[in-house]
Amino acid sequence: MRQALGFLLFLACGAAAAAAPGVDVYTPGGPDDPRVRAAEYLAGNSRFLSAAALLEQVKAQLPRKRLSPEYYRDLAADELSFGMPLQAEAIYREQVDLAKDPISQGRARLRLADFYYQRGYWSQAATELATLHEQLPKELLRDFQDLQSRVMLAQGHYGEAAAVLQQVDSAGMTDYMRYNLGVAMVNEGRVGQGVSMLDRVGRLYPTDSDSLALRDKTNLTLGYHFLKDQQGGTAIPIFGRVRTIGPYSNKALLGLGWAYLAPRGSKQKKTEIGDEKAPDDAAFTSFATIGVLLRPGYIDSDNIYKRAGLAPFHLSGRAADEEAQLKQALVPWVELTSRDTIDPAVQEGLLAIPYVLDRLGAHAQAQQYYERAITALDETRTRLDQAEEHVRNGSMLLTMVDNYDPGAETGWRWKLRSLPNESETFYLQTLIAENGFQEQLKNFRDARLLQRQLEFWKARLTELQQSYQTRSAQDHPPPALRADKSVAANYPPGPGAGQQLQMSNRMTAYSGQQAPAAGSGALKPVNLELAQSPAGDQFVGTFEKMQALSARIDALLPQLAAVEQTQRTLLQGVAVNGLEKQKALNQKYMVETRFALARVYDSELKAPEQGDAK
């Protein structure tokens, strides 16, 4: 695929004609070069392939000239942005010794390391950061530490990541860095400090959608940490900080229900981390958080049973505290089960509600909910099978790629942020957030983009060749020839034929301006032989160049088709694997639901027998 990209860059520069001299004087490849300025405009509009092709055209026209450092910086940035790290890395390494601006060079190297990190090449990212560390400007220290810590976390080096982040000045530390530091501390064993750091991030006042998502993710992580440690009382208000509608809301609702049924645990002691400030509780007064479901009167009211669609039933006479806990757990789960059953959290909620009802003594209602869960799980299984079929026949990939900005040249910055509401993509939402799937999808998309580019140029070259031949025939018609009456009689014209011409293989020339008079022998003629015309393969004109480019396109198209098929196979494997995991979880829930329903039937059969025995 990258060979085809290199050909496209050559194609843009090989077909260009020499520019006519203009009024303005500029240095080729300099900042005032119109082609460089046009490339900057293209890059500013995320058309990195076109920008790189235009800059490569400048270099191809000046193969032996050393251009400005800014030119090479822009070329490397455009090639890296489109997903060509090897070409960009070669330029960066070549410019290290010649760099006059270490800050710009350092930022470029950080971008290269970030490219490797985003694509999951963590060892290459670590190597690039280690090389950059030797000549790191102070102005880039924080960005360097942030990226280095993320690479270490990805590699599982939690202690080293925490050590790097603790070197950052607290005033310059971002909330994302605090979250990473908290996760590193918890995994390293410093649970108290890590929890305090995560709690601080979970209380931040959001200013945009990204900070909202970070706060929700932090509270979800922290809530399940306490739930795992049987600290349900501590987990409940933390789950309540998560938004009611958001990417983490379903898991938070599920965890909140289990937190009510978990042991309350002991009061947590706060560990000082050195830069505390007063908690900002104003962020949790909004009705957009799950905590609004926990308001007084909402839980204690019997309306929760009506919202669950339950008929009146007699409680089993359990203790008041246990009954209150079961009733409280129903609140988030009833809200959860009203959502799309695609989410495994919703599927688990379908099983959790009848579990609570059975313990409350509402056996008939529990039976109805178990049957409802079986119906929903069976429907989910059918849709999963349909989605897998769409994945295997290729319609899923085409729906995602061709219907979502197919002509964009954003390269590795391209992300599939949403899925069309189609059956073949309905169960693949969880795959969007995975880097492995996104990177394979980018490669597949780039292969199709390059194919379309080559097919466009092939059609364009065919039109140019036809136009060239037609224009040549019109502009240069064959010269009108006069018949020579001295044609030898050995070549009489055939019936209906026009005048015949004959050309000698020799020419007669004289050294004077005029031919000598007849009968005078003053000047002797010099016989000249016609030189052989140059061979056709030695002449390379515009038409011949177009033929050569067409031949290269014909050779590259099968290679790109093979690359596309390889990427398609890899993507289908990732997608099918994800669907198989969902099907396995669906099957597990189905088995548990059927066993639970059997227990309900068994308890109903035993109840009359026990009454007769009494």
Q: What is the 3-state secondary structure (H, E, C) of 407-471?
A: CCCCHHHCCCCCCCCCCCCCCCHHHHCCHHHHHHHHHHHHHHHHHHHHHHHHHHHHHHHHHHHHH
* Beta bridge mates, 122: none
Question: Given a cut of 70, is residue 210 above it in pLDDT?
Answer: yes
Closest CA to 182 of 172, 173, 192: 192
**DSSP assignment letter at 262:** S
Task: Say if residue 182's pLDDT is above 90.
Answer: yes
pLDDT in the model for residue 15:
46
Average pLDDT over residues 205-222: 89
Q: What is the pLDDT of residue 418?
A: 65
Q: What is the mean pLDDT of the segment spanning 169-179?
A: 88
CB burial of 539-553 (b: ≥16 within 10 Å; e: otherwise) equals eeeeeeebeebbebb
Average pLDDT of span 511-537: 57
Q: What is the mean pLDDT of the chain?
A: 76
For residue 284, give both structure tokens: 């949790």
509 forms beta bridges with 526
The count of C-alpha atoms lying within 13 angstroms of the C-alpha of 32, restricted to the half-sphere facing its C-beta, is 5
pLDDT at 123 over 80: yes
- For residue 24, CA distances in Å to 31, 65, 393 come to 13, 21, 57
Q: What is the pTM of this model?
A: 0.69
Confidence band for 581, pLDDT divided at 50, 70 and 90:
confident
User: Which of the pair, 78 or 308, is modelled with greater confidence?
Assistant: 78
Confidence of residue 302 (pLDDT cuts 50, 70, 90): low
Distance CA 541, CA 460 (A): 18
pLDDT category of residue 424 using cuts at 50, 70 and 90: low
Strand partners, 243: 289
User: Contact at 8 Å (CB) between 180 and 153?
Assistant: yes
Residues 6+ apart with CB under 8 A from 357: 310, 363, 365, 366, 369
- Quote the pLDDT of residue 78: 83
